[in-house]
């Protein structure tokens, strides 16, 4: 893993959640374009909002706040594993492992006690969570963990349609009735 010594300490975004959520979607750390725009998955070639648009009507053409509300209305929490880190560029492989500070998942699972599905947006998010977060959690509820293909344009082994097909299983998880 590359050392990012001398790089600025980057900070991710707040969690986008409602207390009644059942699904948590976790990325690793926002890329440069997302950090610049202060929006999750802001790079125009990232497939995330295309997929969320097809699944939940959170279309990339909607204003960002409306997209986030659509996900929340579907019981989806949007967050990243990493709260702070050093990373030159946007690639997950460039994250300086020694600089990683994770988000507070103990607090999240208290605020959102009905989360029973966690989907990782790519292998790096899953690996970071399993190595740095999971050992410290004492979760009482049963949670299904699943890694989905990264929506990043850097993950080019699958096209947008192939990514959508794999991500579409999230649509079957219904929000809890009021």
Average the pLDDT over 80-94 and give the result.
86
Count of residues making up the chain: 178
| Residue 178: per-residue pLDDT | 60
Q: What is the mean pLDDT of the chain?
A: 91
Q: Where are the domains of the chain?
A: 9-170
pLDDT at residue 85 greater than cutoff 60? yes
Longest dimension (CA), the chain: 49
Q: Pairing between strand 76-80 and 23-27?
A: parallel
Average the pLDDT over 117-140 and give the result.
91
Whether 10 and 35 have beta carbons less than 8 Å apart is answered as yes
Average the pLDDT over 43-53 and give the result.
96
Catalytic residue status for 46: yes
Burial of residue 177 (CB within 10 Å: 0-12, 13-18, 19+) is exposed
| Residue 155: per-residue pLDDT | 74
More confident residue, 129 or 178: 129
Domain 9-170 in CATH 3.40.470.10? The answer is yes
């Amino acid at each position: 893993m590359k050392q990012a010594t001398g790089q600025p300490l980057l900070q991710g975004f707040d969690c986008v959640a409602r207390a009644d959520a059942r699904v948590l979607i976790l990325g690793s750390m926002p890329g440069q374009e997302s950090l610049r725009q202060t929006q999750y998955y802001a790079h125009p070639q990232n497939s995330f909002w295309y997929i969320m648009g097809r699944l939940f009507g959170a279309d990339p053409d909607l204003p960002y706040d409306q997209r986030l509300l659509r996900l929340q209305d579907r019981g989806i929490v949007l967050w990243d594993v990493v709260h702070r880190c050093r990373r030159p560029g946007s690639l997950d492989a460039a994250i300086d492992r020694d600089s990683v500070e994770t988000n507070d998942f103990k607090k999240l699972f208290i605020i959102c006690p009905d989360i029973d599905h966690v989907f990782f947006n790519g292998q790096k998010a899953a690996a970071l969570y399993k190595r740095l977060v999971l050992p410290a959690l004492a979760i009482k509820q049963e949670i299904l963990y699943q890694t989905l293909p990264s929506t990043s344009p850097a993950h080019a082994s699958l096209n947008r349609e192939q990514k959508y097909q794999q991500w579409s299983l999230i649509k079957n998880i219904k929000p809890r009735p009021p």
